[in-house]
Amino acid sequence: MSDAFHYFRAHAVRALCKARRMPFGRIRQLQTVVGKIYHLLTKEAAYGTNLHHMDDFRAAQKLEKSIEEASDRERESA
């Protein structure tokens, strides 16, 4: 296994655990999708190294940050 595999796997586990702690709703579903994206990247990284994984990883991180911001705004308004 490569380091990328373990790196993506750690992010997948963290994202899915984070989704489980969230209340039901759209934000939770989006967080689960982020976890699934990390999981797919984990599977791809297991077969070999590829720099395209990093582009997908950065896109998933950007989505996760926007989810966190939306979740924070939702908490503030409640």
* pTM for this model (two decimals): 0.71
Write the CB contacts of 39 (distance below 8 Å, at least 6 apart in sequence).
8, 12, 16
Give residue 21's pLDDT: 93
Express each pLDDT in 34-54 by its tens digit: 999 999 888 888 887 666 777
Report the chain's mean pLDDT, rounded to a whole number.
Answer: 85
How confident is the model over 3-19, as a mean pLDDT?
89
Q: How far from 71 is each of 4, 28, 40, 50, CA to CA, in Å?
A: 28, 9, 24, 32
